[in-house]
Structures are given as C-alpha cells and as structure tokens.
A and B are shown apart, each in its own frame.
Chain A
Amino acid sequence: MTDSRPVLTMTGISKSFPGVRALHNVDFRLYPGEVHALMGENGAGKSTLIKVLTGVYGIDEGTITLGDEQVAFSGPMQASAAGVSTVYQEVNLCPNLSVAENIFIGREPRRLGAVRWGEVRRQARQLLTRLDLDIDVTAPVASYSLAVQQMVAIARAIDVQARVLILDEPTSSLDAGEVAQLFRVMRQLRDEGIAILFVTHFLDQVYGIADRITVLRNGTLVGEYPTAELPQLALVEKMIGKELDVLERIEEQPRRELAAVEGGTPFVAVSELGRKGAVAPFTLNIHAGEVVGLAGLLGSGRTEAARLFFGADRADRGEVAVNGTPTSLRSPIQAIEQGIGFCSENRRAEGIIPDLTVRENMILAMQAARGWLRPIPRRRQDELVEQYIKALSIRPANPDLPVRNLSGGNQQKVLLARWLITEPRLLILDEPTRGIDIGAKAEIQKLVVQLSDGGMAVLFISAELEEVLRLSHKVVVMRDREMVAQLDNDDTVDADRVMQTIASGSQREEANQ
C-alpha cells in the first residue's frame, strides 16, 4: 500500500433519477498503485458511481478531484483522455478488426492523414508484451478467447497513459486460468502505479487481489476497509445488511443425504451420451427428488452436458431413458414433453423475450408444450402468474410489464417461474445465481431445496463450489469436456477435494494457487 495522496477523490456525491435516489452523499478515494474493490448488491449504486465518475451521468451534488484538479467529465472519452479508462464486463471491441487496430483505432499514428500500419502493429506488440501477452496482432480479435480480448481491451485502456483503470466485472465470463492471468496483469499495472477500481460479484477474487474495499448499500456509503481487516462474513453482512439471516439459514442446512433419494428407477438415465466437439460421452442417473450438482470450470463442458439433457443440442451418440423407457431428446420440445425444464445461463440471449410481458414470458414454455392451437385461457394464466409472482416475490409485481424493465434477479425469477409452471420432473438450472444479488441468490437456493424436497429432480450448475456443495446430493465434476468424477456429497467431500479433482491432471492447475 502506498502512502501517497489519492489520485482520485470523490466527495459527497449524490445522484437522483426521477423517483430514485441512486447515490446519496457517497465518498470514495483511490490511491495510486492499489487495487480497490467496489462492492455492493445490484442496485447499491456501483454502476451509477462509475458512470458518474466517467461522465456518463452528471452529478447532482459533490465534487470529483483527479490529481489536483477538480473535474467533471462530459463522457467516457473525455475521461479516458484525462487518464480514467474503463473496461467493461462485456468486452467492447470490434470483433472484425485486428488486435492491433482495436488497441489503436481512433488514435492511430498517422502521416499526412494516412494510418501507418507498420507503426500500429509495432506499438501494439510492444504494449501487449508489457502485459506479457504474445499473440499475432494482425489477427481479428474475434479469433481469440474472451480472456485475451479482455487483455486487449485493457491494453487499449492503459495506452492512454491511464492513471485510473476501472474494471467493471471483468471476470464474470472468465474461467479460473484466465482470471489468474488477468490478476497477474492487474498486479503488474498496480506495481507500475496505476490505480485500479475493480468491481466483481466474486468474493474470492476480492480477497485474492484487492488491497482495499469500499462497500455501498442502497446508494449510500457503508465504509472503506483494508481487505486484511474485513473478514468475508463481515463483508457480506455489510453488503446485504439485515437480509443476511436468509443466507445463514441455508448455510446451516445439514448435508443432503444421497441415500434418501437414490434407489429405484432413475427419472433420467443417460449412458455414453456425447456430442463431438462439445462433451465426451458420459453416463449419469438422476432420481426424483435428487439435486445433482455439476461442478467444473467455465468451458469444462458442464453447460454442453446440460444442453444434451434438454435436447438443446443433439447428442450424436449414447442412450437416454426416462423412467426406464428408452427415448431420444432431439429438441427442447421433446424434452419438455418428457417433463424436463432448462434455465439457461445466458439469460439475455437464451432466456427472456424482452418485448413480451412478464405474463407472456412465464407461460411461454407451457404454451409451447400445449401447441399454438390450444391457448391457455386467460383466467388460468392469471392464476398461474399471480401465484408465481407471489411465490418468488417478483418485483414489480405487475404481470403486464415488459420483462426487460425488470432487474436481472427478477428476470431470473421470471424464467424460473416459466419452468415451474410446466411442473417439470427434472429442472436443469445453469448458473441460476450468477450476476444477481445475494438476497435473490439466497431465495433461489432456498427454492431449489424446497423443490427437491417436493420430489423434483434438479441438475444444478454453478461456478461457485460452495453453492454446489450446499445444495447437491451428488456432485459431478467436469474437466476439459469430460466427466471425471461423481462424488456422493458426504462428509468426505469439501471444496478442496472437488477443486483437486477439477485440477488434477489439468494444465490449468496454477489457476487455483
């Protein structure tokens, strides 16, 4: 930790939108050469604070001081010219342009108005070497993994002599190895004296890299703490306030007994099911009332495996039996007819229909199963929708609002409702708690427990091992598109052991160090 003066000071920041007070009297300091985590639930004001800082929004009250000057940026461009650059969660690059061009577009070295391509490539290579990245800078950015793209975005950001680098949830699409690489770059930049503002939902990552933490809640400042002096539980407590007890109640749940649910004919049994290029053949049984957790790194094949269960992709080998009867799952509708539901991890691209109302989004799967000739009567719709809005406490509780007006967590609940309405016997949940706040997360976890107690089989996929271990009867471990282990979730199984299974024999081992 440096002892110099802060490079950035925000004092008494307030910002209101019509009807909403997004920030109220928030202070924030950022020192050169530190990684500073900004924490808070969705709606706490993190995004607004960043947008106020980079000039996307104006401020109602308060001052922003960068170095010795008071500043008020007119937009991200002016901010980055002054040395405050932002890298967003979804990489904002042009996929069709080369790596070098993506770094320099808009400020290419030119002679007489003509872009000097040789110089662009040379400088790009130089810059990427600084980030310890050795790639072909003439290849289009789209041909590289998300992690590399993120590095390219960072390279673009720091090229403008950045003093402050804002990383807004940069890790949510990266696997552990990629996160490790990102962290290495972050540390290097920190050591060069750049101040890094880091926003993430992953607590582990905060403790892995941040020097200090600032916590926001409901648009107000909770406090600023050195990471070493703020234990994880205390952080969660500060973030969610009184709702913590919900999470703890789940925490205290006893280990789930596999023996209680295993036995008899499995609801779904697949043997040697596989798809070339997606997931190697695997065998798995899921019983009624059983929660099977699918653990593994991003890209380990967990989503691909789940998609085969649902017929979202066609398996090119292997057999499926539902209730002991051999069958084939060649399309989602066939899976739905067999009583299977699938909540995709990609809520925006594969989940919600943003234009349609909450009601329509909820009844969609049920309607699809009935066929278009048999519309669900309006009264039945009202009953169902009202029931699930109440049961899942969806806010705002207006069924005729377009679903795009809801927050991420509420959209996720609408999707859950869509599947619960079909009364599935197996529900596949792919990362249902990602990117939503802790309160909603706890509610969804609680729901999974209730559903399985009621006899529903659940295939639960999550990047967070603790969540998987907390909910599952059985943990299936995926690695490199292969199923490597099925562990009964008894006392011998803990996060370390699962992590070892994931890591053993993998080149990504270092990621967990």
Chain B
Amino acid sequence: MSERLKPILSHRLFWPLAVLAVMVVANTIYRPGFLAVEVNNGHLYGTPIDILRLSAPLILVGLGMTLVIATGGIDLSVGSICAISGAIACLHISEASDQNSLVTVFTALAMALGAALVLGAWNGVLVSVIGIQPIIATLILMVAGRGLAQLVTEGQIITINSGPYRAIGLGHFLTLPLAIFIALGAALLVAALTRRTALGMIIESVGGNREASRLAGIRSSRMVFLVYVVSAACAAVAGFMMTANVSSADGNNAGLWVELDAILAVVIGGTSLAGGRFYLSGTIVGALIIQTLTTTVYAMNISPQTALLFKAVVVIAVCLIQAPAFRAKFGRRGRGTPPPAAPAQPRQKEEVTA
C-alpha cells in the first residue's frame, strides 16, 4: 500500500462504503440484473431504486438518532413513536368521509406529528430536566409506546384507502419515488442546520462533556431536549412512510425494531455511541448497507427472519473493522511508526506530551 492510499484508507467513510460496494458487486455477480434500472410509465424501476426507497424511513430515523447519540444519549423509543404516529394518522383518515381529501391527510399528518413532538418532549424532559439515563428514559416509552399505539388502534389493524397518504410511501416525483426526496430533503435540512450553523459543534460539545459545555455558556439541557424532539419528529415522518407503504397501521408491528436498525446505521457510519463527533453521511451509508442487505436476502429467497443471521455477521464485521482495539490487534503490523503506546491508563492524570 502506497503512502498515497493512506488518507483514503483511514477516511472514516472508507470501510462502510467498501462494505456497501462489496455487497453491490456480490449481488451483481449473483444476479446480473441487480443494477438494472428501467423506465416504466414515466417512473424508474429497479432494485437500486427499491433499496433507496425502502431505506428512506431508516435514513429518517437514523438522522434523528445520530443527533441523539452525538449528545451521548440514545433513543430506544423511535419504533414506538413510528407506530403511534402512523396509527394516529391512519385513524384520523379512516374516520374521515373523504379519505382522498388533502385537507384530511394534512390534518392527520399534523395531528400525528404533534403527538410525536409531545412524546419527544417527554423523552427530552426525562433526560435533560430530570436527568435520567437516556437508555432507561427512552426504554419507558419503548415499552409503553407499543401499548399506546395499540390503544389508538384498539388492537386492530386500521386499513385506509387514501391516495395522497399512499403517495408518501409509494408516490413518484421526477421519475423517482417521493420517499427518496423526503429522506434526502430531511438529510439536507439536518445537515444544513448542524453544519452551516454552529449547532453541530455545540451538539458535539455537549456530547463530549455536558457540564463543561454548560459552563462555557451553552444551554446544554436545552440542546439535549431538542435532539429528542427532533428524533421523535424524524420517527413520525418515518412512521408515515411505513404505514403509507402498506396503507394500514398495525400498532404492534409498525416500526418494530427500527430503533435497533437505526442505532446500527449510526454506529456503522462511524459515530461513537459514547457521544461527541457525529457523521450524518456515515449514517446514511449505514442505512443503505442495512437495506441492501435486507433486499439481497429477500432476492435470494431467504426468509426475513433468517436474514437476521446475515445482519448479525455484517454488524459484527463492520464493528470489528472499526473497533480500534481490533485494528490494533490484527491491523497492519510493523509498518511505519505506531502511535506512542497509550496503554489503558485508567488513572486520568495529565498526559505528558513530551
């Protein structure tokens, strides 16, 4: 390996992208038509388009999750929030006389989004004001939220027949699925909000050291509160997509385990679960990896449950590749000068940089 390759290899997106590329190549070898995209009825169709469309909800949830994780938190409740918001929206539409009315659909979306914001605020208050550990605070809503979603649907699966709502999941715009644009729009919005302003650095600072950030004049609690609300909002939109895809709301299964996939996407993308630095582009690549994997497995006629086996393998592989401890043990040995031995030094004393 030449010195020129080094910056590429050490780029944080290198390994996630490499994994994605390997999967695409493997798929194409297995099924040469994998990359084929055809125009039908003015819309683009094909496996790559499907992957993009289906990964949209995961990207959305992943964006919110990235911000939450950057503050050193975690949001386990997003799956429940997807289910609740989807259920509320579908319930409102199903009760309307004209399910195709735009007014009805927008009212439904507004109501569901409002409910999600309230739930996000609940998480935010528990974490930032009461000071409960995020994993526990959001566990509450993860458990209770499923019950709430079933409460909304009264244990039934609500089926709707609404064109405009369906479009959120299956509609097209400029030959491409609308869902892709929604996810892209959300990604650009979050990226602009965090990287064009100082918000990103402030979130990273809060995640790196919350008390120090507060003493530097950052309203740390407010920031922490905010990310949970944003995460809930992202989850709500994802919930709309999921329910729109199937034109029905199932309180029990909508968005089931999406929180785990989202956390995976974030971690695969290089953001540390400990908080601090975050990488939105990494999360998007992570979500694409997860969805490509799922699609691949479907295409191979393996049951979705067995697909979990592959997911387990990919998760471990990606995490191992990125784990510094693993790299140190099995990485390229004897090349160049390794960084000064920094043995696990539990004693937090002043390091000496001589």
Contacts and interface: CB of A to CB of B under 8 A. Distances in A.
To the question of whether A and B form a pair in one complex, the answer is yes
Interface of A: 17-20, 22, 42-43, 47, 56-57, 88-90, 92, 169, 219, 310, 312, 331-333, 336, 342, 344, 348-356, 360, 364-365, 367-376, 395-396, 404-411, 418, 435-436
B205 A364 contact: yes
B32 interface: no
B205 A360 contact: yes
Given A354-B209, A365-B216, A376-B198, A56 B343 contact: yes
Contacts of B346: 92
29 contacts: A17-B340, A18-B341, A20-B340, A22-B354, A56-B343, A88-B347, A89-B349, A90-B348, A92-B347, A310-B215, A312-B215, A332-B215, A333-B217, A344-B212, A351-B212, A353-B212, A360-B204, A364-B201, A364-B216, A365-B216, A365-B217, A367-B201, A367-B202, A368-B202, A368-B218, A376-B198, A395-B353, A407-B351, A408-B349
Contacts of B196: 375
Nearest to B341: A17
Contacts of B349: 47, 89-90, 169, 408
Contacts of B339: 18
State the 9 A-B residue pairs at the shortest beta-carbon distance, nearest first. A408-B350, A368-B217, A355-B276, A353-B208, A375-B198, A355-B208, A336-B217, A333-B217, A372-B199
B43 interface: no
Nearest to A419: B216
The secondary structure that dominates the A interface is loop
B347 A90 contact: yes
Contacts of A374: 197-198
Nearest to A307: B215
Contacts of A370: 198
Given A43-B352, A332-B217, A353 B341 contact: no
B50 interface: no
B281 interface: no
* Residue from the set B202, B211, B217 with the largest chain A CB neighbour count within 10 Å: B217
A312 B216 CA distance: 10
Nearest to B211: A350
B54 to A, nearest CB: 34
A351 B212 CA distance: 5
A333 B222 CA distance: 12
B118 to A, nearest CB: 24
Given A371-B198, A418-B216, 7 more contacts: A17-B340, A350-B215, A353-B213, A364-B218, A365-B216, A405-B351, A407-B352
A352 B198 contact: no
Given A43-B354, A333-B218, A349 B212 contact: yes
Nearest to A46: B352
B146 interface: no
A364 B200 CA distance: 12
Nearest to A395: B353
B334 interface: no
B219 interface: yes
Contacts of A353: 204-205, 208-209, 212-213
Interface string B4-46: 0000000000000000000000000000000000000000000
Contacts of A367: 198, 201-202
Interface in B182-239: 196-199, 201-202, 204-205, 207-209, 211-219
Nearest to B276: A355
Nearest to A408: B350
Contact of B337 (A19, A56, A368, A396): A19
Contacts of A404: 351
The secondary structure that dominates the B interface is loop
Interface string B317-354: 00000000000000000000111110100111111111
A350 B197 contact: no
Contacts of A352: 209, 212
Interface of B: 196-199, 201-202, 204-205, 207-209, 211-219, 276-277, 337-341, 343, 346-354
B208 A89 contact: no
A336 B215 CA distance: 10
A19 to B, nearest CB: 7
B281 to A, nearest CB: 18
A354 B211 CA distance: 13
B211 A349 contact: yes
A92 B218 CA distance: 32
Nearest to B195: A375
A18 B340 contact: yes
A478 B209 CA distance: 30
A364 to B, nearest CB: 5
Contact of B277 (A19, A90, A355): A355
A277 to B, nearest CB: 19
A235 B327 CA distance: 45
Nearest to A88: B347
A372 B340 contact: no
* Residue from the set A57, A332, A373, A410 with the largest chain B CB neighbour count within 10 Å: A332
B274 to A, nearest CB: 9
A426 B101 CA distance: 62
Contacts of B351: 404-408
Nearest to A310: B215
A88 B209 CA distance: 24
A17 B340 CA distance: 6
Contact of B215 (A42, A342, A435): A342
Contact of A372 (B198, B209, B216): B198
Nearest to B203: A372
Contacts of B337: 18-19
A16 to B, nearest CB: 10
Contact of B347 (A20, A89, A369, A435): A89
Nearest to B209: A353
A396 B353 contact: yes
Contact of B340 (A19, A312, A418): A19
A118 to B, nearest CB: 32
B277 to A, nearest CB: 6
B67 to A, nearest CB: 13
B142 to A, nearest CB: 27
* Residue from the set B202, B207, B209, B339 with the largest chain A CB neighbour count within 10 Å: B209
A149 to B, nearest CB: 15
Contacts of B207: 355
A407 B219 contact: no
A20 B354 contact: yes
Contacts of A405: 351, 353
Contacts of A411: 350
B31 to A, nearest CB: 43
Contacts of A396: 353
A355 B353 contact: no
